[in-house]
Homo-oligomer: A and B are copies of this chain.
């Protein structure tokens, strides 16, 4: 299946006058197929790579366990807050796995799992959420941008980075994650437009999990699908079943390939569902019913893949157990490591505001130093 290419930034047909003006109808954009693309449970699943799918499965199981562990840590007071991705693991994992080492991931505040699946130490991924310093790692080391809390603001960053890499002749693709709610922000619009005009090697993955906190998609947009937004930027738009990791992976990898080959950006909407509340602090019963949640639970990303792989003999009980054990081990380590009280030096407050401390900051640092010394003495 291919996505028809759209006219790129070079299209300047509209600066000649109407009498001579002819639209490039031969390159007219296709509307995205409003049926989410699926692989699992369809004949296309036959061609799945067993090795890759087992890896996906192991990561899904680990991701689910990671979610459970992180939520448990909020109850133990070890995390201040955790936005769960239970139900969305297929998107998170596929996003992490589709990238090459030199590529960049731009996660939103919800996407610690994608960062972890890309190889980031979970403790480093979670510093923000435990109330420690914001970014517990060097973004350049992992090519993972800091988690972005202000919604959609990370999208222009991804565009700028991808554009810079292309200008420098480097083979780098940026993959930016955003929620359905985030698509309403002006930054979403500006980022997609810049990406299309610059033909930047960037892929936008919208995880449409049905809600922006309590606000359902129907109050967020009147478009047939969020993928339809691609049309207005002149880039391909794709709709995919976000709980079908094989499908998400395929659509993503096609988009990444196109970006890498100079074919410009793609907008992908992955239809999924946030099974748990917005965060541990949220009460989802205020805005949605059990029936909806239950229906989505029956379309669980881990089970979908497990069912497919076992039915096809690509996964057996041992394989399942192995994945579970690995996940448990990860969880145990994470639990243990998160139980260690983090040690922060208050004097670090003044260290990185600027490359060089201003006089004012030096003064304030001295004041705090004196206060801390006095405390220690008393």
Contact = CB atoms under 8 A, between A and B. Distances in A.
Given A20-B295, A221-B193, A295-B16, A229 B228 contact: no
A282 interface: no
Interface in A212-231: 216-225, 228-231
Given A186-B185, A189-B188, A189-B189, A16 B224 contact: no
Contact of A17 (B11, B28, B230, B295): B295
A207 interface: no
Copies of this chain: 2
A139 B188 CA distance: 33
Contact of A235 (B12, B188, B222): B222
Interface in A190-220: 190, 193, 196-197, 199, 208, 210, 216-220
A7 B185 contact: no
A225 B224 CA distance: 19
Interface string A1-32: 00000111111101111111101110111010
Contact of A231 (B186, B219, B223): B223
Interface of A: 6-12, 14-21, 23-25, 27-29, 31, 34-36, 38, 184-190, 193, 196-197, 199, 208, 210, 216-225, 228-235, 241, 243, 264, 271, 273, 292, 295-296, 298-299
